[in-house]
Structure 1
Amino acid sequence: MIIHNFNAGPSILPKEVIIKSAQSVIDFNGSGLSLLEISHRSIDFLEIIEKTTCLVKRVMNLNDDYAILFLQGGATLQFSMVPYNLMDKEAAYLDTGFWSINAIKEAKKFGKVNILFSGKENQYTYILKNYKIPHNVDYFHCTSNNTIVGTQMKIFPKTSVPIICDMSSDIFSRKLNFYQFSLIYASAQKNVSSAGMTIVIIKKNILKTTKKNIPSYMDYQIHIQNKSILNTPNVFSIYTSMLTLEWIENKGGLSILEKENKNKAKLLYDEIDKNSLFENKIHKEDRSNMNVSFFLKEKKLEKEFNKMWKKENIIGLDGHRFFGGYRASIYNALPLKSVQFLIEIMKEFERKFSS
C-alpha cells in the first residue's frame, strides 16, 4: 500500500535512509551491536560524526571557517542560545510568523529587539523586501521558511551585520550562497533526519567578541571545542543525517533538489489557482516551495474533501491548528507522484462538487 506523506514534521525521509537506519538498529555495520547501544566515544561513532560534518560542508560548499554542531533542544533552544552568545545590546529581527515570534520572545530576555517588519496585520501572507538593517545591531535574525502559513524568503539582505537564519523547514532544499550567513540552525525532523537533533552551522570568528559567563551547554565555543559531544548526543539522528546527506549527494546536490522542489510546488500551486474550489492566500512571490497552504472557498465542503483524501491514503494534509485549512508539506523526499496524486484528488473533488 502506498502512503502519500504530507506531514509537516516529523516528516517523510528517503526510503533508502529509513531502510539503512532500521538495519543499523538491529546490527550496526556487522558489529553485533545496535546503533542504539554503541558508545558515543567509540571509533565507530567518531567516524559517523566526522563524516556527517564533512558532508554538511560539502553539500553547502562551506570551508573550515565554519563549525558544524549537532545539538539537542530543537530550534527552540537556539532561540535562546543565539542571543545568549551573540547579543551585546540590540539585535534586529523579522517577524514572519509563529516561529519568528517565539525567537523574538526569547531574544527580548537578553537585550533590545528591533523588529524591522511584522506580517501580523496581514496574517503573515507576505514578506517585506525593502526593510533597512541598522548598522549598529549585533546581528540580524530571520526565519527562511514559515512552515505554518507557507511563506519563504527567496532573497536575503546584503548587510555588514551578521545574518542568523532559522532554516529548520527548508535547509538542504535549494542552492544558496551560504557564506552570506554567519549562523544557520535547523531542527532535523524535516529535510534532514529523525527528530531530536539540531544542526548549527556557525562562522567561528563571530564568537570572538563573546564576553558573557555563559553556562556550558549554552556556549557555542564549548560545543565547538568538544566537537558536539560535550554530553551524549543523539547518535541515531546524527547517523540518519549522514545517510540523508549521502542521498542528497548521490542525487546530484542542492541544484537538483531545488529544481525538483520548484517543479513540485509549481504543479500544486497551479492546481490551487485554477481549481474553482480552492485558494491560496499567500502573495505569489513569497509562496513556500516546502509548505503549500490552501483553503476550501466553501467551508461546508470540508467534511467531503477530508473524507476523499483520507480514503486515498493521503496523510498529514490538515492545516496547522493555528491557521486552519490544509497544508501539503512537500519536502525533498516526497516523490513527484505523491504531488500528482493529490492534484488528481483535487481535480476529482472539483468535478464532483463544483456548481
Structure 2
Amino acid sequence: MTRVFNFSAGPAMLPTEVMEEAQAEFLDWHGTGMSIMEVSHRGKEFSVVAEEAEHDLRDLMGIPDNYKVLFLHGGASMQFSAIPLNLTQPGDTVDYFNTGVWSKKALTEAGRFANVNVVAEHTTAIPDPSTWQLSDNAKYVHYTPNETIGGLQFHFIPEVGDKPLIADMSSCILSEPLDVSRFGMIYAGAQKNIGPSGLGIVIVREDLIGHARPETPVLLDWKTQADNDSMYNTPPTYSWYMAGLVFKWLKRKGGLEAIGEVNRRKAKKLYDFIDSSDFYHNPVRPQDRSIMNVPFTLAKPELDQAFLKESDAAGLKYLKGHRLVGGMRASIYNAMPEEGVDALIAFMKDFERKYG
C-alpha cells in the first residue's frame, strides 16, 4: 500500500517503522503467544514494557529523579481538573496565560475550583513579559507552550518566580530539548508526538504530590497514581506500549537535539514559502510561530474546498483548519518526514499557479 502524508493535529501520524514493529509482534509479543493487548497489566510481561517506557522517557527528556512520571487515562483534558484539585484549596488563586483555545479550556475548568487570574491574553503573539499580571499569592502558574489550533508557541520558558510552573505540552512534548527542572508539572496527551489517543503523561515534582482536596476523585489524585505506579486500575496498556516504541524510535533518531533540528528545518521551509507568497498567509507573529502546527489561509477563501479536495487527492490528508478558526492547518509533528513538507509545498505552489 501507499502511505499518505497525514497532517492531522491528532490523532496524528505515527512513525512508519514503529507501526511496522507493532504489526510484526501484534499476535505474538516476544514469543508469549499473546498480543501485548492481551497480557495482564500486572504481569511480568507488561511490567517490562512499563519500566522501559518510563526509563526511555526519562532519558530522552532528562527528567530529574525528584519527579514522578505517570501514564494515565483521559489524555491532557483530564488534567484540567486534576491540577487545581491537587494543588489548591477552595478560595485559592491560580494564574493562567490565555493564548488560545486550549489554554482557555484549561482556565475555564480551573475556574470551577479556584479563582483564576489571567496573566496575559493574546492569540497571535506572545505578550511581552513586562505586561504580565502575575499574582503574588498564586498557587501555580499555568501556560500552554504550543497552541495546537492557533499555531502560537512560547519559544522560552516563562519566569514566574517561586510559583510552580505548569505546562500543557500536548502538541510540543518531545519536539526539542527541554529543561524539565524549570517546571512543577508537565502534562500531555499522547496523540500528537507520543502515540495513540487515550493516554495522558504527567511529569510532576514530588513535593507537589499528596496535597489533593478530600473530595478529589481517586483517579485524579496524583498520589494515588504515583503510589500505584499508574496502575490503580487497568491503564491504557496498548497506548502505553506504543508510546514506549516511539520513545525508542526517538532515541534511535538521535534524541531531542536531533529531532529538534529536523522540526525547525521543516517549519522554516513551510513558513518561508508561505511568507514568499501573496496567495497564502499565516497570522502569527513570526518569532512566535509554532514549529508543530502551521495554520494558513488562502487569499481567496472561496477556493478552500477546492484546495482541500485536490490536496486530499494528492495524498495530503487532514489539512482543513479547526472549525473555530477556518482556513488550513498543517501539523508537522515528529513523525512527519521532511519529504511530506516538501510535497505539501510543491502542491501549494501548483495550486497557486492554477488559481492565483
Return the TM-score normalized by structure 1. 0.96
Alignment-mate amino acid for residue 72 of structure 2: L
Task: Check conservation: 2:97, 2:119, Cα contact below 8 A.
Answer: yes
Partner residue, 1:76: 77
**For residues 236 and 211 of structure 2, what CA distance do their matches in structure 1 show?**
30
Deviations 1:230-284 (A, max 9, x none): 0000110111111100011111110111110000000000111112211111111
Partner residue, 1:28: 29
Alignment-mate amino acid for residue 164 of structure 1: I
Partner residue, 1:66: 67
Partner residue, 1:252: 254
Give the 3-state SS of the residue equivalent to 2:117 in structure 1.
Answer: strand
**For residues 306 and 18 of structure 2, what CA distance do their matches in structure 1 show?**
36
**For residues 307 and 38 of structure 2, what CA distance do their matches in structure 1 show?**
45
Deviation at 1:307, TM superposition (A): 3.2
**Alignment partner for residue 94 of structure 2, among 91, 94, 99?**
91
Which has the larger displacement, 196-205 or 212-221? 212-221
Partner residue, 1:342: 344
**For residues 208 and 338 of structure 1, what CA distance do their matches in structure 2 show?**
45
Alignment-mate amino acid for residue 25 of structure 1: F
Give the 3-state SS of the residue equivalent to 2:310 in structure 1.
Answer: helix
Partner residue, 1:317: 319
**For residues 238 and 211 of structure 2, what CA distance do their matches in structure 1 show?**
34
Deviation at 1:164, TM superposition (A): 0.5
Count of aligned pairs: 350
Task: Check conservation: 2:64, 2:181, Cα contact below 8 A.
Answer: no
Partner residue, 1:134: 135
User: Any residues of structure 2 matched to 1:223-242 within 5 Å, and which?
Assistant: 223-242=225-244
**For residues 303 and 16 of structure 1, what CA distance do their matches in structure 2 show?**
33
1:271 aligns with 2:270: no
Task: Check conservation: 1:257, 1:332, Cα contact below 8 A.
Answer: yes
Task: Check conservation: 1:276, 1:350, Cα contact below 8 A.
Answer: no
**For residues 180 and 259 of structure 2, what CA distance do their matches in structure 1 show?**
16
**For residues 239 and 12 of structure 2, what CA distance do their matches in structure 1 show?**
14
Deviation at 1:115, TM superposition (A): 0.7
1:114 aligns with 2:117: yes
Across the aligned residues of Structure 1 and Structure 2, the Cα RMSD in angstroms comes to: 1.3
Partner residue, 2:106: 103
**For residues 303 and 80 of structure 1, what CA distance do their matches in structure 2 show?**
38
Percent identity reads 39
Give the 3-state SS of the residue equivalent to 1:319 in structure 2.
Answer: coil
Alignment-mate amino acid for residue 331 of structure 1: Y
Deviation at 1:24, TM superposition (A): 3.2
Give the 3-state SS of the residue equivalent to 2:201 in structure 1.
Answer: strand
Deviation at 1:301, TM superposition (A): 2.2
Give the 3-state SS of the residue equivalent to 2:335 in structure 1.
Answer: coil
Alignment-mate amino acid for residue 190 of structure 1: K
Deviation at 1:33, TM superposition (A): 0.7
**For residues 24 and 213 of structure 1, what CA distance do their matches in structure 2 show?**
43
Partner residue, 2:124: 125
Partner residue, 2:172: 170
Unmatched 5+ residue regions in structure 1?
A: none
1:45 aligns with 2:49: no
C-alpha change, 1:303 and 1:111, in structure 2 (3 Å) is closer
Which has the larger displacement, 212-221 or 151-160? 212-221
Which has the larger displacement, 295-304 or 326-335? 295-304
**For residues 85 and 209 of structure 1, what CA distance do their matches in structure 2 show?**
6
**For residues 211 and 151 of structure 1, what CA distance do their matches in structure 2 show?**
33
Give the 3-state SS of the residue equivalent to 1:91 in structure 2.
Answer: strand
Task: Check conservation: 1:85, 1:212, Cα contact below 8 A.
Answer: no
Partner residue, 1:214: 216
Give the 3-state SS of the residue equivalent to 2:273 in structure 1.
Answer: helix
**For residues 212 and 78 of structure 2, what CA distance do their matches in structure 1 show?**
18
Give the 3-state SS of the residue equivalent to 1:92 in structure 2.
Answer: strand
Unmatched 5+ residue regions in structure 2?
A: none
Deviation at 1:172, TM superposition (A): 0.2
Alignment-mate amino acid for residue 155 of structure 1: F
Task: Check conservation: 2:146, 2:152, Cα contact below 8 A.
Answer: yes
**For residues 111 and 167 of structure 1, what CA distance do their matches in structure 2 show?**
22
Alignment-mate amino acid for residue 118 of structure 1: E
Deviation at 1:304, TM superposition (A): 3.0
**For residues 132 and 289 of structure 1, what CA distance do their matches in structure 2 show?**
27
